[in-house]
């Protein structure tokens, strides 16, 4: 099933075409108010474990292994994944993250996981 799914930094302003905005970080991003975030949901339960997040450290060399390990965590996190898939069935969803690296972060990995099935 093809989802209408976007990924963007939470520091970018909300846009009319964002659909439902879901923060997928375990930690609230610095300097962003709840009003500015304009979230439909803060799904911190779907974020990587603290252990995995600290191991990855946003090191591009660890990206492939991070995606593999995070995918395994998501496989065991059926409730949070089902909640997010439910939102996707309702329409467009934008996954939001706070990391500086736009290519190597948990939201990008999560989007890949969801698109893969």
Per-residue pLDDT tens over the stretch 37-68: 999 999 999 999 999 999 999 999 999 999 99
Q: What is the pLDDT of residue 3?
A: 79
Q: How far apart are CA 112 and CA 40, in angstroms?
A: 21
Strand order across the 20-23 sheet: 5-9, 93-97, 20-23, 41-42
Q: Is 2 helix (H, G, I), strand (E, B) or coil?
A: coil
User: Helices 78-90 & 106-116, crossing angle to 10 degrees?
Assistant: 80
Predicted TM-score (pTM) of the model is 0.95
Residue 98 to residue 11: CA distance in whole angstroms? 7
Q: Hey, CA dihedral for 103, 104, 105, 110, is it positive or negative?
A: positive
Residues 70-112: tens digit of each pLDDT: 999 999 999 999 999 999 999 999 999 999 999 999 999 999 9
């Amino acid at each position: 099933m093809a989802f209408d799914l976007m990924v963007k930094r939470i520091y970018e302003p909300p846009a009319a075409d964002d659909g439902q905005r879901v923060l997928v970080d375990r930690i609230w991003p610095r300097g962003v108010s709840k009003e500015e975030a304009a979230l439909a949901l803060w799904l911190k339960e779907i974020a990587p474990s603290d252990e995995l997040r600290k191991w990855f450290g946003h090191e591009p060399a660890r990206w492939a292994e991070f995606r593999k390990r995070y995918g395994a965590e998501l496989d065991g996190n059926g409730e949070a994944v089902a909640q997010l898939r439910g939102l996707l069935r309702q329409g467009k969803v934008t996954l939001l993250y706070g990391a500086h690296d736009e290519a190597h972060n948990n939201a990008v990995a999560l989007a890949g996981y969801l698109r893969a099935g």
